[in-house]
Amino acid sequence: MTLDRRITLYSPTVTTNNSGQVLRSFASAGTCYAMLVINEGAGTEAFVSDQMQSSAVITWRVRYRTDVLGSWELDFASQRYEVISALPEGRKRYTLIKCKLKDNA
């Protein structure tokens, strides 16, 4: 197993502006090396609000981490992924991060 791709993880931050509105943004939680795990047939296409929308489910393997949550985002090669889940693998040696890539073309 080779962790050969450099990814950046982002955790959500919530702030309020001067008028009291809640603003949600993402702050970098660090970079790490990862391995792309191939998921066969994990993509979908659908019409949402009269617009073609496709999504793909991707799994990344990283060194064991306990801080990644389902509300986080992941960045690789200027593409943003929404984290769906993060589960330990192999006696806490690795963490599998399942993500969803959305593409509105």
> pTM of the prediction?
0.82
Geometric angle at alpha carbon 77, from 71 and 83, rounded to 5°:
15
CA distance linking residue 42 with residue 56, whole number of Å:
6
Q: Tell me the torsion sign for CA atoms 36, 90, 97, 10.
A: negative
CA distance linking residue 1 with residue 23, whole number of Å:
40
> For residue 66, what is the DSSP state?
S
All domains of the chain in start order, with CATH: 5-103 (2.40.10.270)
CA distance linking residue 54 with residue 31, whole number of Å:
27
Q: Which residues pair with 73 in a beta bridge?
A: 10, 82
pLDDT of residue 105: 47
Q: What is the pLDDT along the chain (105 residues), one digit of tens a residue?
A: 789 999 999 999 999 999 999 999 999 999 999 999 977 666 777 777 887 777 788 999 999 999 999 999 999 999 999 999 999 998 989 999 999 886 654
The structure tokens listed for 34 are 């990862």
